[in-house]
Amino acid sequence: MHELSIAHSLVEIASQAALEVKAKKVEAVRLRLGALSGVVKEALLFSYDVVIENTILAGSRLDIEELPVILYCPQCEVESQLPGIQQFRCPKCNQPSARIVQGKELEIVSLEYSE
Rounded least distance, CB 9 to Zn ion, Å: 37
Binding residue (CB under 5 A) for Zn ion from 4, 70, 76, 100: 76
Is 93 a residue that touches Zn ion (CB under 5 A)?
yes
Integer angstrom CA distances of residue 67 from 4, 23, 36, 103: 21, 29, 9, 6
- 46/72 with CB nearer Zn ion: 72
Among 7-15, 34-42, 55-63, 72-80, which window interacts with Zn ion (CB under 5 A)? Answer: 72-80
Binding residue (CB under 5 A) for Zn ion from 36, 90, 102, 103: 90
Q: Is 54 helix (H, G, I), strand (E, B) or coil?
A: coil
3 state SS for 15-41: HHHHHHCCCCEEEEEEEEEECCCCCCH
Site size toward Zn ion, by CB under 5 A: 6
What is d(CA 16, CA 113) in angstroms, rounded to the nearest whole number? 12
Rounded least distance, CB 71 to Zn ion, Å: 9
Sequence-separated (6 or more) residues with CB below 8 Å from residue 21:
113
Quick check: 104 and 37 in contact, CB under 8 A? yes
Is 109 a residue that touches Zn ion (CB under 5 A)?
no
Rounded least distance, CB 103 to Zn ion, Å: 17
**Interacting residues with Zn ion (CB under 5 A):** 73, 75-76, 90, 92-93
